[in-house]
Structure 1
């Protein structure tokens, strides 16, 4: 009798628990069903892809030629989509939704630390490139808004001083916030700024004559003697030089979105690998289109005289053009609001490597924030050319995160036979990433040595 009573009591308790948890489970399902839509996921991925790289691709086209640039851009974007395909397969197999945790699964703690270091360096490089844009563009933007007869060595013409002020007054307070989710709403605005940038580059193709005007004084005060001739107004199809070594790293830098793919996958409504792969393919294809249009028309405007940061090319020829002024302000605003967002995963990777899973501490939080921003600020102030950031970061951490790590992780974690299509593809991805990174980095270092 006692046993029957115990059984009845267990049944009643189980039924009661089921009744209590059923609404919670139903609410969880409904909440999961109201995930990010397909369109918003594409949009978020494009915002993760597109950044300061769009300003350096015209220089990459001038260094490789139109056909050479197209081949390389198609190759890098296709390999980026394929490496994401491998990451998504691993995510489905393991249930892991973090790039660092995939590194830990494949190579244990060294793999997790290695991925963390790569993410830290990559994001520091990205933030440095953004602050470099602020340093070079903000004085020109302020000068263009003031009266034409305002001359002299005004304090607002010092890009380094402006950069320090903006970092202390805007970037630092936003980066110190423990949660910065509200800045995610600026992603749509940032994408519209990039679209507007591409439109302006196309429209201004017909505003600057070729051959370029002679004896142009840039905003920095230097007199540039332009020796453009009619022969320089014909586009080059293939170009091979030491400058070509910057092309692939710049493209790798421009298509790196892998640290954001898995979180977007987790938030996707009705998440499946095929659905997320479609999001990836559309996002990369649309980014490819904007990149190609901006690079092509930027190159066809300035040809061999294009600057490594495209907006600087317009300073000498259209210093007070209203469209150039507005697009400069739009890019600056987009860059300014993006830096704190990029800072968060960099700080997370640094704290994870140094302190592991330790509870949140304001002291560690503030110290890590200040240290990372100081390093970024120093790089942005003293690096003379943005192509150096694209070249070094793109040939090292970008190539690892884009090509090498996904291939190695797939070969270590996947249960597929080594002769399967994806295993062979993963191996080729690793080989390509290593060869591309080593060759590009070596040529860049040799170029520095010769120039010095």
Structure 2
């Protein structure tokens, strides 16, 4: 597939057409489609993309709604999800018209080899940071989630040690899934992860009527009889509102997985993949909005930045809450192999280029990445803070800046055309969100200290 991609890129340079209008051909050449008799189904691709979109970030959206208001949150979520879908549209448009099937090679076409290296390094930093953070969460939370079902005092069992549990999970769950050669094979685990997220949303809705308002300080004493504490706000503007757009932007980041999923899609045309992206983003939007709304209507202004912590306070040892905590951790676990796929692809692109598939290179790159990620999760105590700054910049680049910048560089359309104007808007929004994200993280660090 790599050689065919290179040949199509050369051919596209000699027969280059202005970008715009209807799609002209499927992404994969006919000979590749003959070999790949049937690729991933529409549903499998949609589940994979939803798994790439949704992660532990869903736990923080109710907090964002508390600091923006119901209407403010809904409008911002709609805008950010629409921008994410549009940036995917630009990427697919570039792939369709140039025959390129890789984010890294798009960077090379736009800015030669430095562009390819820049994109590959950005993907690596972003995905390694995300995987390390997810494994860090598993190390911290999985032992407590397991022991909560056993109703016993800590006894030093192996499953109560986060590091031991993390190593076993990585070896027996993450590694076998990460070694799969095609992303299509992860469709089943991605559908399971989506069901876990759906279960979380349903529980948040159900538990809305299990916690009284005003919220009790403990099981018997209420905070006050002032019903204003239980009045939902439509619009809220405060210093904490600055967290909204960065949090939402990261919640819809899936662009490193879009093109690998596109390549393995059955009948891979731009329109079909755009429909996959639209369905995935829409379903993620619905789950985000419902879980954030009912989480906010449960705790109002007192909602915790990590939603499940509020349930631990007011519904201790609730079976549904304990079950949903375990479900979220399993969903995070099943996201790691999917994030690993584009990271491994970037490593291979940097060191091997677009050569034929090799099991040796495949396995070595897989072991290298997972070992690095595991070491970071085990030995770096503030891993989420370390990758906060780096992640905010790389996420913004992959979601907004690169799609807009590459389109303006590669496209021959006039700057006043609709797509070119949209690309300029993405570029500007990306720079603003990136600076805003850095400021938010720095301010939170200062306040924390």
* TM-superposed deviation, 1:410: 0.4
**Alpha carbon RMSD of aligned pairs, Å?**
3.1
The one-character-per-residue Cα deviations of 1:282-337 (angstroms, maximum 9, x if unpaired) are 22111100110011111111122222222222111222222112222222222223
Aligned residues: 413
Distance, in Å, in 2 between the alignment partners of 1:250 and 1:27 is 42
Contact 1:216–1:316 (CA under 8 A) maintained in structure 2: no
Q: Deviations over 1:334-360 (max 9, x none)?
A: 222332332343344346446767974
**Aligned equivalent of 2:395:** 398
Task: Find the aligned partners of 1:296 and 1:376 in 2 and give their Cα distance.
Answer: 32
The 5-angstrom pairing of residues 22-421 of structure 1 reads 32=36, 34-147=38-151, 150-151=152-153, 154-155=155-156, 161-162=161-162, 164-172=163-171, 174-176=173-175, 179-180=179-180, 183-215=186-218, 229-350=226-347, 352-353=349-350, 360=360, 366-379=367-380, 381-383=381-383, 392=389, 395-421=392-418
Structure 2: how far apart are the matches of 1:345 and 1:27? 24
Query: 1:352 & 1:34 partners in 2: Cα distance?
Result: 25
For structure 1, the 5+ residue unaligned runs are 1-24, 218-223
Deviation at 1:406, TM superposition (A): 0.2
SS in 2 for 1:212: coil
Q: State how far apart, in whole Å, the 2-side matches of 1:368 and 1:390 are.
A: 16
Residues 74-101 of structure 1, C-alpha deviations (whole Å, 9 max, x = no match): 1110000100110011001111111111
Q: Distance in 2 between matches of 1:137 and 1:108?
A: 44
Alpha-carbon contact 2:158-2:164 (below 8 Å) kept: no
CA distance in 2, matches of 1:192, 1:405: 32
How far apart are the structure 1 equivalents of 2:223 and 2:353? 56
CA distance in structure 2 between the aligned counterparts of 1:434 and 1:61, rounded to whole angstroms: 24
Per-residue deviation, residues 128-178 of structure 1 (Å, max 9, x unmatched)? 44234324532442342122xx44x6547998x41x122211214555557
> In 1, Cα distance between the equivalents of 2:52 and 2:343?
15
| 8 Å Cα contact 1:195/1:290 also seen in 2 | yes
CA pair 377-242 structure 1, distance change in 2 beyond 3 A: farther
Structure 2 partner of 1:446: 443
Q: 1:368 to 1:197 in 2, by over 3 A?
A: closer
CA shift digits 1:167-208 (9 cap, x unpaired): 211214555557235554311111111111111110011011
- CA deviations over 1:20-73 (Å, ceiling 9, x no partner): xxxxx9996566563333333323322222222211211211222212211211
Q: 1:353 to 1:105 in 2, by over 3 A?
A: same
* TM-score, scaled to structure 1: 0.82
Cα offset, 1:393, TM superposition: 5.5
Change (3 A) 1:277 1:228: farther
8 Å Cα contact 1:246/1:391 also seen in 2: no
**Cα pair 2:396 2:434 within 8 Å, conserved:** yes
Between 1:102-111 and 1:368-377, the stretch displaced more is 368-377
The TM-score, its normalising length taken from structure 2, stands at 0.82
CA displacement 1:213-251 (0-9 Å, x = unmatched) = 11479xxxxxx9967953221122222233222221211
Counterpart of 1:21?
Answer: none
- Whose radius of gyration is greater, 1 or 2? 1
Distance 1:364 1:401, change over 3 A: closer
Q: In structure 2, what is the Cα distance between the partners aligned to 1:374 and 1:190? A: 25
Distance 1:431 1:58 in 2: 27
* Structure 2 unaligned regions, length at least 5: 1-28
Seen in structure 2, the aligned counterparts of structure 1 residues 216 and 155 have a Cα distance that, compared at 3 Å, is farther
| Alpha-carbon distance in structure 1 between the residues aligned to 2:294 and 2:217 | 21
Structure 1 residue 116: Cα displacement:
1.7
CA contact (8 A) 2:52 2:338 kept: no
CA separation in 1, counterparts of 2:139 and 2:179? Answer: 27
* Conserved? CA contact 1:250–1:391, under 8 Å: no
